Copies of this chain bind each other. A is one copy, B any other.
Amino acid sequence: MSDATYDVLGVGNAIVDIIAQADEAFLARHGMTKGGMALIDEAQAHAIYAEMGSAIEASGGSAGNTIAGVASFGGKGAFIGKVKDDEFGRIYRHDLSSLGVHFATPPASDGPATARCLVLVTDDAQRTMNTHLGACVDLTPDDIDADLVAASAITYLEGYLFDPPLAKEAFRKAATIARGAGRKVALTLSDSFCVHRYKDEFKALIRDHIDILFANESEIEALYDSRDIAAAAADLAARLDIAAITMSEKGSLIASGTERVRVPAAPIDTLVDTTGAGDLYAAGLLYGFSRHLPFAECGRLGSIAAAEVIQHYGARPQVALAELA
């Protein structure tokens, strides 16, 4: 992979997070499933926002968070995603570009506004997400720059991309180009409800297009209809280069061939907001993998990055991960 211009190219929904604290009653009143990601339309977004508490805004989006993390470790990152030419779109672009990430997808000049995710954080630091996809529905296969994909050692795709219909085609195009160029393709399953929505497609993707898979326990359970993580890891390890299964405070399991590496979670002082934990774990692992580090070290970097991001609001690192590493 030494000939690659970029270590990791992320393709994902470009979303600005609007983050506020909420109590369990708020989630119940709005029929939200705690810990999940629900898609909402513009009217729902207005209605929920109007009742949410005082918030902060921060760039988010699963793959975008991961690429920000890769760049924060010192890796060369690139991103493909669709914003509108509006205030949130400019914020989103700035927050990646300022980290040195190559982000050249042209913004939409009309149509819906830049996507936003209303993130409700409960006292237990769990996050419940409500996403209005906005301009993300305008990501099309034309936005997949074949030269960029071919120039990236790893193309990293978020399962959430299956929600906007044209983005799904863009996803497949990127995966096909990457494989054709002899590059690696990584996928995160994103969310157990997302897995339920697209289970058969995800299974076919994993069979045909994916080298590195990220999933947490509930996503694995949704994919396999089973709680047997060891069996799922064995099945995935036989098909893929790497399967990385995250288990919150229990750390993670990296499975590759017959190798199994258990990685502990990194210690934290105060758990504030778990948004982005999985995204940043993926950042550490992918950065380590791009540097040909041993799996245990890749996992350690993932744990460090996840620990940083769950100790404050917002899903992007607030300190240089290269210094923490």
A55 to B68, CA, bound (A): 12
Contact across chains for A58 and B57 when beta carbons are under 8 A apart: yes
Whole-angstrom distance from the CB of A42 to the nearest CB of chain B? 13
Instruction: Choose the segment among A84-92, A184-192, A274-282 that binds chain B (4+ C-beta atoms closer than 8 Å).
Output: A84-92
Instruction: Choose the segment among A6-14, A135-143, A208-216, A313-321 that binds chain B (4+ C-beta atoms closer than 8 Å).
Output: A313-321
Whole-angstrom distance from the CB of A98 to the nearest CB of chain B? 5
Which B residues touch A99, using CB under 8 A?
53-54
How many residues does chain A have at the interface if contact means C-beta atoms less than 8 Å apart?
A: 30
| CB closest residue in chain B, given A317 | B54
Contact across chains for B318 and A91 when beta carbons are under 8 A apart: no
Contact with B along A18-59 (1 / 0, CB 8 A): 001100000000000000000000000000011011111111
A86 to B95, CA, bound (A): 20
Q: A86-B87, A87-B87, A88-B87 are in contact. Are A53 and B314 (CB under 8 A)?
A: no
Which B residues touch A88, using CB under 8 A?
87
Interface residues in A146-189 (C-beta closer than 8 Å to B): none
Contact across chains for B86 and A52 when beta carbons are under 8 A apart: no
Whole-angstrom distance from the CB of A234 to the nearest CB of chain B? 39
| CB closest residue in chain B, given A273 | B318
A269 to B55, CA, bound (A): 23
A313 to B312, CA, bound (A): 9
Which B residues touch A94, using CB under 8 A?
49-50, 52, 54-55
Q: A21-B318, A318-B21, A318-B313 are in contact. Are A68 and B54 (CB under 8 A)?
A: yes
Which B residues touch A319, using CB under 8 A?
21
Contact across chains for A53 and B87 when beta carbons are under 8 A apart: no
A54 to B316, CA, bound (A): 9
Contact across chains for A56 and B314 when beta carbons are under 8 A apart: yes
Contact across chains for B58 and A56 when beta carbons are under 8 A apart: yes
A94 to B21, CA, bound (A): 14
A87 to B96, CA, bound (A): 20
Whole-angstrom distance from the CB of A298 to the nearest CB of chain B? 24
A52 to B98, CA, bound (A): 7
A95 to B68, CA, bound (A): 27
Contact across chains for A56 and B56 when beta carbons are under 8 A apart: yes
Residue from the list B52, B57, B269 in contact with A56, Cβ < 8 A: B57
Whole-angstrom distance from the CB of A310 to the nearest CB of chain B? 14
Contact with B along A89-128 (1 / 0, CB 8 A): 0010011101100000000000001000000000000000
Which B residues touch A98, using CB under 8 A?
20, 52-55
Whole-angstrom distance from the CB of A116 to the nearest CB of chain B? 10
Whole-angstrom distance from the CB of A88 to the nearest CB of chain B? 6
Q: List 11 A-B contacts (CB under 8 A).
A: A50-B94, A52-B98, A53-B98, A54-B95, A54-B98, A54-B99, A55-B98, A56-B57, A87-B87, A87-B88, A312-B313
8 new A-B pairs (CB below 8 Å) besides A54-B59, A86-B87? A52-B94, A54-B94, A54-B96, A54-B99, A55-B91, A55-B95, A56-B57, A57-B57
